[in-house]
Structure 1
Amino acid sequence: MNRFENKRILITGGTSGMGLEAAKMIVEEGGEVAVTGTTQDHLDEAGKALPSGSLVLRNDASDPEAAKELGAKVKEQMGAIDGLWLNAGYGKFGPTEEVEVDFFDNMHNVNVRGPVLQMAELMPALTDGGAVLLTSSVAPYLGQAEGAVYAATKGAVSALTRSWASALAPRDIRVNSVAPGPIDTNFMNGMGFSDDEKEQFLEQIQEQVPLGRLGTSKEAAQVALFLLSDQASYVSGSEYMVDGGMTMR
């Protein structure tokens, strides 16, 4: 199967987890990829995992100037892109009474302002008939006591998906979102949990998943690639849950 033959796809937050899994599969299916990340170890990992010719770019979604830099680099080195996955994200949980300005701003800047500014810069590079994907989350649907700010930022992503689907429809560009549940990635490392707290949290989460386990990065990436591919040519403004049935309870 060569769903991405002669296609160029950009994945922000694509140097680890499901973003990197997707990038590897795109290459296997005949496409070209560019991925962004912020930490050197993830950049190095992506550089080793992807073939020469793939773009591995340091770019921080929380930095408003970085969106302009990303737009310029994509235009210079790729010319145009057929698909865009705005996947860079950040999450942290904490009691409502402990929320401070930095706690809110750090998540809002990466999860909401980042994709908004990136979209503004990258929209001209998108080919007509292309596809855009955003990474939301099951968090807005769960009402977790200590996840209010994170859930709010991901709820905003879901709203952006629908608005952009309307805005880009005249260009036949589809816009969808994928909402992962508990996926076994390094995402939780930034949530501020100790090892014991992380283990306890994961046990509690798994008890809420009808399939009884965490999902894998590859399972999430496969859904993302469906939405980025022409197989989803009549899907736009939709959000696909990848959560083992978690949100149906």
Structure 2
Amino acid sequence: MNKLSGKTALITGGSSGIGLASAKLFLAEGARLAITGRDPERLETARQQLGDDTLALVSEAGCLNDIEALLEQVGQHFQTLDILFLNAGIAEPTPLELTTEDQFDRIMRVNFKGVFFTIQKALPMLKPGASIIVTTSITNRSGTPNFSVYAASKAALRSMVQSLGLTLIGQGIRVNAINPGPIDTEGFNRLPLPGDVFQAIKTDIEGRSPIKRFGAPEEVAKVALFLASDDSAYVVGEEIVVDGGISLVCLP
């Protein structure tokens, strides 16, 4: 339907999962595209799936030098941006007694600090009418044992989206968030947990979910398309939950 015809998009964390599914959908809808990833091999595999016209750049989401270099390359290639989808993030267990300062700083640097400064440094490239989309998580509204630092980083993003939504709307730039629940992504399946523990967690989530399954990345991508397109022109500072209803029964 070409909802993004003539628009240019940058998706961080675009080499797998929600980011890659969104990249494929954005391309199908007519966007010009740049994606980032940390792993060169995974990024190259994604680029091959997306085609030679996609700009694929290795970049560490929490490193300010990488962010500046990324945006310089995107600027040289595309000049301006219409869509900035900040999807890169990391999730690690952080039991209170075992969490180190380095681990705390790494999670907050990638999940929160990197997002804030990517928006800041991308501002000169963002055209009036541009859309900024941030991936949060349903953990940002609930107690999440053993993942407290990850949940806090996503709660910080939720607050930031509200504040920057007000800050930037005067420039014609919309800021919104997608709040995914349990999604069957490579990132989730790579959580550093023993196999039996991981399977027990997955089975428990499926059992508690009203829809009785994990979501697919493609289902989240359709919400990203809505926020990226002019269909959401009157949506500002919002967080759209995509979780199969699990937050209705598992959150306060």
Q: TM-score range by the shorter chain?
A: over 0.9
Q: After TM superposition, what 4+ stretches of structure 1 lie above 6 angstroms from structure 2?
A: none
For structure 1, which runs of at least 5 residues remain unmatched after alignment?
none
Residue of structure 1 equivalent to 2:225: 225
Distance 1:245 1:225 in 2: 20
**SS at 1:102's partner residue?**
helix
Alpha-carbon shift at residue 189 of structure 1 (Å): 4.2
1:76-95 CA distance string (max 9 Å, x none): 11100101001100011232
TM (norm. structure 1) is 0.97
What is the alpha-carbon root mean square deviation over aligned residues?
Answer: 1.1
| 1:38-57 aligned within 5 A | 38-57=38-57
Sequence identity (%): 35
- Equivalent residue pairs, number: 249
Residue of structure 1 equivalent to 2:133: 133
Residue of structure 1 equivalent to 2:240: 240
Letter in 2 for 1:104: F
Alpha-carbon shift at residue 25 of structure 1 (Å): 1.0
Q: Is the 8 A contact 1:92 1:190 kept in 2?
A: no
Distance 1:3 1:24 in 2: 13
Distance 2:127 2:61 in 1: 22
Residue of structure 2 equivalent to 1:108: 108
Q: Is the 8 A contact 2:16 2:46 kept in 1?
A: yes
Letter in 2 for 1:86: L
| 1:29-40 aligned within 5 A | 29-40=29-40
Matched, 1:70 2:86: no
Distance 1:122 1:190 in 2: 30
Q: Is the 8 A contact 1:158 1:239 kept in 2?
A: yes
1:19-48 CA distance string (max 9 Å, x none): 111111111111111000011232122111
Distance 1:194 1:3 in 2: 43
1:204-249 CA distance string (max 9 Å, x none): 1112211110000100111111111111110010000111111112
Q: Is the 8 A contact 2:140 2:158 kept in 1?
A: no
Alpha-carbon shift at residue 191 of structure 1 (Å): 2.9
Residue of structure 1 equivalent to 2:120: 120
Q: Is the 8 A contact 2:129 2:173 kept in 1?
A: yes
